[in-house]
A and B are shown apart, each in its own frame.
Chain A
Amino acid sequence: LRLIYTTTAVQRKNVGASGPEKYTEAFIKKQIEEFNLGKRHLANMMGEDPETFTQEDIDRAIAYLFPSGLFDKQARPMMKHPTEIFPEQRKIQWGEDGRPFHFLFYTGKQSYYALMHETYEKLLNVQKYQDQLTAQDLPPQKEKRNLAGSRWLTKIELEEMLLEKLSDDDYSRFIQLLQKLMTLPCGDIEEEYIQKFSRVVPVQLQKVVIEPLKYDERGVAFSTGEGTRKTARATAVVYDNGTGKITVNGIDVLHYFPVLQDREQLLFPFQFLDRVGKHDMVCTVSGGGRSAQAGAIRLASAKALRSFVTEKEVEFMRQAGLLTVDPRVKERKKPGQEGARRKFTWKKR
């Protein structure tokens, strides 16, 4: 017998090196039972019926009993079903006699390779079907599928589906195989299978609605528009059958904008559409400075003029930049610098 003298530091196991915790089935079951019991206790505490106590009620009760001012919602106390808290994990892959359940277990990435195997099988089926059709001299069906409205699963979504880590290479190979399957002429048979791996993309483009002309008591057509530039906000009402008179905040334009440059900005939309002397305008503007207010009114009047004009001219206005909101605002000053971009004077020593 040889006594080996070890210190306590050596005897203590390095807990961190064991890897992520494995949650056994028994453990998760116990957690679920404790959760259900706790739910009933909570319902009794709040004076509500334990049978009809939903997750929202639980959230409200916990927020009431344990108020927390923490910023991160996930750091606050929460009581959720154990399946939402403990991430899904793979159970033991082999039976009592030691034989693994899955036939591709020894590859390491069994679900991914099983997926590739299945997809390849579908491909072979489609090719066989195609051969059968050509043998019977029937033309292959060509139905154009809408490719624009859908996207393939992302790598993270696929990892969640397979419960396995993937590499970028694996993922790209799988997507290439799916694309190949889809582009074959008789791919309609496997439509269902392909749809499992595609998601619908919501239509993002919203067509801008041009408002119709409104008529006031005198019978004159008019339309309104709003515009912003830096901190200035403006609303403009453009009347038809006019003489080119412009009023800003109740004051004539010559008095409100003494500088020629601002008046040129106001005139630009009308000059672009060759309607210089044909419209009257009444606008209200607040905020910003001289130039910002002029820019805001220009945008507002351009938007208002859309109702008077054909779609082609609206497209011309858009391309000229009359309908785009100018995103430039004052950049903030940063610490350690004198201004937004200007640094302090650099001294060599």
Chain B
Amino acid sequence: MGGLQKKKYESGSATNYISRNKARKKLSLSLADFRRLCILKGIYPHEPKHKKKVNKGSTAQRTFYLLKDIRFLMHEPIVGKFREYKIFVRKLRKAYGKAEWGTAEKLRGNKPGYKLDHIIKERYPTFIDALRDVDDALSMCFLFSTFPRTGKCHVQTIELCRRLSVEWMNYIITLRSLRKVFLSIKGIYYQAEVLGQIITWLVPYQFAHDHPTDVDYRVMATFTELYTTLLGFINFRLYQTLNLVYPPKLDGKGEEESRAESEEDYAMDSERYMEVLLHLFCHSRFSHPCFGSLQEKLFEGLKFFLNREVPRESLAFVLRCFGAQVSWDKSLCIGSTYDVTDETITHHVVDRPSLEKQYINRYYVQPQWVYDCVNARMLLPVEDYFVGVTLPPHLSPFVEEKEGDYVPPEKLKLLALQKGERPEQEEEEEEEDNDDSEEEEDEDQSDDEDELKGMEEKCRVCRPIVLFQASSVKVTPGEAKPVNRQRAEQEAKAEEKRLAVMMMKKRDKYLYDKIMFGKKRSVREANKMSAKRKALDEASKANKKKKLKK
């Protein structure tokens, strides 16, 4: 006994966390600077296990950071740079206000800057760590590279993003490590495997953005700052692993040279730079035959020509990743290698309802064919993708159906094709399969009904006997009922399970109920989908018949 009484909230989890405002005050930073620092250093709030304890008894909503994280931020040299920059801005404003142009110029010459190298190294101690986290960086860079070069963010940033993304694509082409592509309504998803890491990124379609008003571009810019640094270092390292020089030389001229043109024809220069960049990735001069398995040589030996209405950049990227030769109209963009009239072209990618002048010795396909082939890892029959034909659905390659999930029939067809079965036979089989599975499902659903039916049957059996017996008590030899052994066994098992479930502990029961609820829901959804599909198919069949009759 004895000793001092323990005070509340002076030890334990209450001291491990710190609220955002307190953290900000501790670092003596403005909210904007704190936000920037958190983004750059990758500090995020933590959800404490016992919120009330941490919040000192209050239940008010508050975000908490780990105290250790904040202490860690205190040693960050970049915090000093932030302060320097703030002072610089103040001085500059003063100089402008006093119209002291000389001072202003001098100040601008000494504009403080900072580098993020050490932060990258610290956040990603190994290269693999960095690669693991490159998804968001890529998506962001690809988005920023599509921004118009007016307002919103610095032109240099846009150009840097563009350069980095093109370099990345170049690397992917060289290594042929693209795995999956998906055309969604949001943009194009690419998935590549780099050094064993699966990396997915999203590229918007090539359209002008209508910039939303509810987006804070400063936050985005801070992220981009970090991401460009990260991506630059990653690119450097990746190029190094291929024994390539980084940054890659453009058109014989070094990148530095091309950038160091006079500032007068700046706009033209930057545009030319973009085009040259494009050229780089359109004609990667390095080919590594050692890389690339059979699947990666999917389009090897095929010669493609892209019509002007198809998304050229995306298609060229994908096709080159799988070893095809690509060209386009000379007037469209630099980098075209052969003309439409080339006799050796095997595939002509067209995205218009009809084409006037067609050559005999090539296939005219819609762009979806290329993407579907990549996802299926085989050359699909081109007939479904001819010009003007209604396209088959484009399926997501990222979905991996588990048991019990709904699988669209197109996917089943594709799986069969991959196994090497013929599509016609497969269709029939598939239908049968479908029927079977549906029947099974029906059975599952109608278990209760069956029970009811059984009872009814029993009633039928009983009633006449009962009526017959009403007059006098008699003993008659019973009829031996045929027993379905399997069924009985199943029922017995089900009953056994039911009883066991009944004897579960409360905690386990809760979890079990939750899991079973989820399972039932997924089954319900799958059933709903298949029913919907069935109805749609029937409707379309009826339509076809009508048309035929007409």
Tell whether A and B belong to one assembly: no
B residues at A contact (CB < 8 Å):
none
